[in-house]
């Protein structure tokens, strides 16, 4: 005989469960995103020598908080996290947001250093930043180049990664894979990669770097109605003297048109195997991402630890942390509990 439940008791139980669940969600995420994002600033930024670089970075939150490193992509900068970072800081995290090599106030320590944009070099930079800041282990989260960097760190240095949030999933690639042709529609989506393979493209990107970046923002996030002030705040980062060299090398390296540096050969050999990532991970995807991206089913098997994928709805494009800061911050907090 089916058990019967007193309706009043059932209502009391339901209320208690909902109250407990709500208590587990930081209040800062229950409110609207702070108005800070549209006109706010991370200033004053900090600088630190780390590896080959003097790295510019923003830092928010308590110095003793659990570390989170947020990594931006191309053509974006640290302001992609201008709304998400305060949410995390308010939840007690120590949030570190570095400019990648070739962006913002990050500079090479030596004029003789090769302006290398290969992905393993960028990942090595972030490990060096953690070393310089004496951060043994952190949650690593990012999108675009930042997600690729986070993936590489989680694969090669899992002991440094408590957990990971990766927008658009598994992004580790290699030069051999880059040589393989894609179906025409997929090749079309990578049009800028082929433009950058030419000297005309290099000169054109240098001359029109702001116009180029704005076009990518519009194509990659077709439903995001960003204003000029929001774009201009980030576009300053592209005035870095090494920016063009790093971007061009990155995309040419992917197509095996240029070599990397021998110091990264051993790392690239490991990455060429398509390593499985055991670090606890949440992957995110916007429902209106106009940039090239794989279906989540294509990369789910690349995560062997506790794993979850989330689709963020509402016309969210490629710059997910800036377009959906609460969803991004929520993912960081949740993966920390995995």
Structure confidence by residue, pLDDT tens digits, 254-272: 999 999 999 999 999 999 9
pLDDT of 178: 83
pLDDT of residue 177: 87
- The answer to whether position 91 is within a domain reads yes
User: Given this model, what pLDDT does residue 120 score?
Assistant: 98
Q: What is the pLDDT of residues 307-319, one digit of tens each?
A: 999 999 999 999 9
Domain assignment present for residue 292? The answer is yes
Q: Is 322 among the domain residues? A: yes
Q: Is the pLDDT of residue 65 over 90?
A: yes
How many domains does the structure of the chain reveal? 1
Instruction: Supply the pLDDT for residue 29.
Output: 62
Length of the chain: 338
Residue 319 lies in a domain: yes
Q: Please say if the pLDDT value at position 21 is more than 60.
A: no
The whole-angstrom separation of Cα 308 and Cα 292 is: 21
Q: What is the pLDDT of residue 14?
A: 35
User: What is the domain-level CATH number for residue 293?
Assistant: 3.40.50.1820
Which alpha helices (DSSP H) does 31-118 contain, by range? 36-39, 84-90
Point out which residues pair with 257 in neighbouring strands: none
More confident residue, 221 or 10: 221
In a domain, 20, yes or no: no
| Under 8 Å between Cβ of 154 and 279 | yes
The pLDDT score that the predictor gives to residue 7 is 37
Per the model's pLDDT, the better-predicted residue between 20 and 256 turns out to be 256
Q: What are phi and psi of 307, to 5 degrees?
A: -145, 145
Give the residue-averaged pLDDT of 237-250.
98
Residue 145 — left, alpha, or beta (φ > 0 → left; ψ -120 to 50 → alpha)?
Answer: alpha
Q: Give the pLDDT of residue 41.
A: 81
322 pLDDT exceeds 50?
yes
Q: What percent of the chain is modeled with pLDDT above 70?
A: 88
pLDDT digits (tens, 9 = 90+) for 177-213: 888 899 999 999 999 999 999 999 999 999 999 999 9
| Assigned domain for 29 exists | no
The answer to the question of residue 32 being in a domain is no
pLDDT score of 105 more than 80: yes
User: Averaged over 126-149, what is the pLDDT?
Assistant: 98
- Both tokens of residue 216? 């990518």
Report helix, strand or coil for 292: coil
Percentage of the chain surpassing pLDDT 90? Answer: 85
Three-class DSSP category at 316: coil
Grouping H, G, I as helix, E, B as strand and the rest as coil, residue 144 is coil
Does residue 15 lie in a domain region?
Answer: no
Give the chain's end-to-end CA distance (angstroms, integer): 39
What pLDDT score was predicted for residue 22?
Answer: 37
Question: Which residues form the domain of 170?
Answer: 40-336
Question: pTM of the predicted model, to two decimals?
Answer: 0.89
DSSP state letters, 197-255: TSHHHHHHHHHTHHHHHHHHHHHHSTT----HHHHHHHHGGGG-TTHHHHHHHHHHHHT
């Amino acid at each position: 005989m089916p058990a019967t439940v007193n309706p009043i008791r059932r209502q009391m139980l339901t209320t208690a469960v909902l109250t407990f669940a709500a208590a587990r969600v930081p209040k800062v995420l229950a409110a609207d995103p702070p108005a800070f994002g549209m006109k706010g600033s991370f200033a004053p930024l900090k600088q630190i020598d780390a590896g080959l670089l003097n790295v510019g970075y923003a830092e928010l939150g308590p110095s003793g908080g659990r570390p989170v490193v947020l990594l931006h992509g191309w053509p974006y900068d640290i302001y992609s996290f201008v709304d998400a970072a305060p949410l995390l800081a308010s939840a007690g995290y120590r949030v570190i947001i570095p400019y990648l090599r070739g962006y913002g106030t990050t500079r090479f320590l030596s004029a003789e250093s090769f302006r290398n944009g290969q992905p393993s070099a960028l990942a090595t930079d972030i490990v060096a930043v953690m070393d310089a800041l004496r951060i043994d282990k952190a949650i690593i989260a990012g999108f675009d180049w930042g997600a690729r960097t986070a993936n590489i760190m989680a694969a090669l240095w899992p002991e440094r990664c408590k957990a990971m949030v990766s927008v658009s999933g598994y992004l580790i690639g290699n030069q051999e894979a880059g040589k393989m042709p894609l179906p025409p529609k997929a090749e079309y989506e990578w049009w800028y990669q082929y433009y950058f393979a030419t000297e005309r493209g290099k000169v054109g990107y240098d001359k029109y770097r702001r116009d180029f970046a704005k076009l990518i923002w519009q194509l990659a996030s077709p439903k995001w109605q960003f204003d000029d002030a929001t774009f201009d705040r980030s576009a300053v980062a592209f005035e870095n003297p090494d920016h063009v060299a790093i971007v061009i090398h990155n995309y040419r390296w992917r197509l095996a048109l240029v070599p990397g540096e021998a110091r990264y050969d051993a790392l690239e050999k490991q990455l060429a195997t398509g390593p499985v990532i055991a670090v606890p991970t949440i992957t995110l995807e916007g429902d209106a991402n106009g940039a090239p991206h794989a279906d989540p089913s294509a990369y789910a098997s690349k995560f062997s630890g506790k794993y979850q994928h989330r689709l963020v709805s509402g016309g969210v494009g490629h710059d997910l942390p800036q377009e959906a800061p609460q969803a991004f911050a929520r993912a960081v907090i949740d993966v920390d509990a995995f």
